Amino acid sequence: MKSSRIEHRAIDYIPESERHGVARSLFFVWFAANTSITAVVTGALFVILGNSALWAIPAVIIGNVLGGFVTALHSAQGPKLGVPQMIQSRAQFGYYGAILPLVLSLIIYLGFYATGLVLGGQAIGDLLGIPVQAGSAIFALLSTTLAIFGYRYIHKFSKVATALSAAVFVVLFIRVLTAPDAAVLVQQTDFAIGPFVLGISLAASWQLTFGPYIADYSRYLPANTPQRATMGWTFAGSVLGGSLAMILGALGAAIGGSNFNTNQVGYLANLGAQFAWLVLLAVICGKLTGNTLSTYGGFMSLATIVTAITRREIITGKARTAYIVLISAAALSIALAATDNFLGAFTNFLLFLLYFMTPWSAINLVDFYFVRKEKYNVGALFQPDGEYGRINWIAIAAYAAGILIQIPFMNSPLYVGPVAEWLGGAEIAWLIGLVVSGGIYYLFAPVRKTLPHSTSPAADGQQDAAALIRPHL
């Protein structure tokens, strides 16, 4: 019987018989997701916060490399465990304790989806000559459709988006660097340590907030896929794509000024001159990739939360579609309400995510690489009374400590900590949170960390997780 074009799996384990693909496909997914108009806007913030365009470039690269390295480490978890990224948190936080980071990840998905709808709506509005709100609604429909078709089609579409974005970015860089006002870039060489370090943190934040996404798009790869290839292709696509987009944004903000800040999509389209429609199409495709990842990950986080609370593990095809539609509807509502003052709201959003995301990432990675040494009982992830328990208070405490320790180092529009003020606005809170949460979890993790665990869902007498929660169409 011919298999359905629509993906039928949700949060369940992917058996080896269904694994497919090669690690280099991850380059296209993460390059396309990072070369989006949202990343361009993030690059513009470097200049808006006080950096010159030239000093913004090294800040962009350093931040993307640091954050990209951490998130790439998550990529190896997909082939090894064969389950979505956030459901892995049950091994660290416990079956019910994982609801805490799952709710956080759901906020991340909705936030990035909503901000993407604002900018994607601008692009569709300019391309079709319709209001931005209508463009956002169309964009939400496209994201929803691609997410419903699922994993295979997300990978396929990302290759198209990568080719288009790469070509258009080359043209836009040429146009920016040959613009009449481009000479001003060389003249602006002032350096300030506070905005520079804050810029690094913004770029790192962009990469680190992809942490909850990463393994979702490598979990179908064969279990014997080399870790170096999985992490390397993820790192290359993320860092190269994010750096190019942010540098373009910084240059555009420095040269375009208020014209860029008022309408980023329109400014880029005007740079394309007679190829403005192609620029808009590239913006749409690039942002559609990122938005689809948020839709797809959002539905899996929501499904994981709901199934934990209700103990109804089977996710039917109709339920899967309903989750995706619900996520899209919520994000569209936020986008339509948040169109005004977008840049300010987005800055606050990125900084907020950074403070709460790094402690989870540290705990997850320390557990995978150093505590359990990549050995897991996958079947127990789906059992409230399994070996990972209901709530792991050690992980909760390490997570809380990682957040609280950052407060004196915070630099956000809502609060500036005394240490950040003493450092002239430099932002290093995320580094502190990363070290503290990971260190506490490693030191106080249970003694059983040295015992061997199997990654097979049927090991140790556990029921086959793939059969337990397999979606039914």
How far is the C-alpha of 69 from the C-alpha of 388, rounded, in Å?
Answer: 28
How far is the C-alpha of 188 from the C-alpha of 439, rounded, in Å?
Answer: 41
CB atoms within 10 A of CB 32: 30
How far is the CA of 128 from the CAs of 131, 265, 420, in angstroms?
Answer: 9, 14, 46
Q: Is residue 450 part of a domain?
A: no
| Grouped pLDDT means (10 residues each) for the chain, 473 residues | 72 92 96 90 85 90 96 95 93 95 89 86 90 93 96 95 93 85 72 87 89 93 96 97 94 80 79 83 91 93 91 80 94 80 64 82 96 92 91 96 94 83 83 95 72 49 37 30
Residue at token pair 């300019």? 126
Q: Is residue 1 part of a domain?
A: no
Nearest C-alpha neighbor of 85 from the set 109, 69, 66, 113 = 109
**According to the model, what pLDDT value does residue 450 have?**
41
**According to the model, what pLDDT value does residue 469 have?**
34
How far is the C-alpha of 92 from the C-alpha of 328, rounded, in Å?
Answer: 29
Burial of 84 (0-12, 13-18, 19+ CB in 10 A): buried
| Strand, helix or coil for residue 411 | strand
Question: 92: Cβ–Cβ under 8 A, 6 or more apart, which residues?
Answer: 98, 363, 364, 367, 392, 395, 441
DSSP letters along 337-364, please? HS-TTHHHHHHHHHHHHHHHHHHHHHHH
DSSP letters along 96-128, please? TTTHHHHHHHHHHHHHHHHHHHHHHHHHHHHHH
How far is the CA of 320 from the CAs of 5, 65, 271, in angstroms?
Answer: 15, 35, 41
Residue at token pair 């079956």? 95
424 near 192, Cβ under 8 Å? yes
CB atoms within 10 A of CB 115: 26
How far is the C-alpha of 387 from the C-alpha of 126, rounded, in Å?
Answer: 54
Q: For residues 218-249, b (16+ Cβ closer than 10 Å) or e, as one string?
A: bbbbeeebeeebbbbbbbbbbbbbbbbbbbbb
Question: 201: Cβ–Cβ under 8 A, 6 or more apart, which residues?
Answer: 63, 351, 354, 427, 428, 429, 430
Q: Is residue 18 part of a domain?
A: no
| Strand, helix or coil for residue 247 | helix
How far is the C-alpha of 380 from the C-alpha of 456, rounded, in Å?
Answer: 10
Which alpha helices (DSSP H) does 49-98 contain, by range?
A: 53-75, 77-81, 89-93
Count of structural domains, the chain: 1
Q: Is residue 439 part of a domain?
A: no
Q: What is the CATH number of the domain that holds 290?
A: 1.10.4160.10
**According to the model, what pLDDT value does residue 343 have?**
55
Nearest C-alpha neighbor of 351 from the set 208, 171, 178 = 208
What DSSP designation does 367 have?
Answer: I
Q: Is residue 152 part of a domain?
A: yes
Q: Is the dihedral of CA 300, 306, 311, 312 positive or negative?
A: negative
**According to the model, what pLDDT value does residue 144 have?**
97
How far is the C-alpha of 212 from the C-alpha of 236, rounded, in Å?
Answer: 18
**According to the model, what pLDDT value does residue 234 have?**
97
Burial of 6 (0-12, 13-18, 19+ CB in 10 A): middle
Q: Is residue 399 part of a domain?
A: no
> Can you give the residue range of the structural domain that contains 311?
23-360
How far is the C-alpha of 72 from the C-alpha of 68, rounded, in Å?
Answer: 6
- Identity at 233, one-letter amino acid code: W
**According to the model, what pLDDT value does residue 1 have?**
40
Dig out the tokens for 59 from the structure: 């800040």
Angle formed by the axes of helices 151-177 and 276-310, to 10°? 140
Nearest C-alpha neighbor of 427 from the set 205, 188, 233 = 205
Q: Is residue 388 part of a domain?
A: no
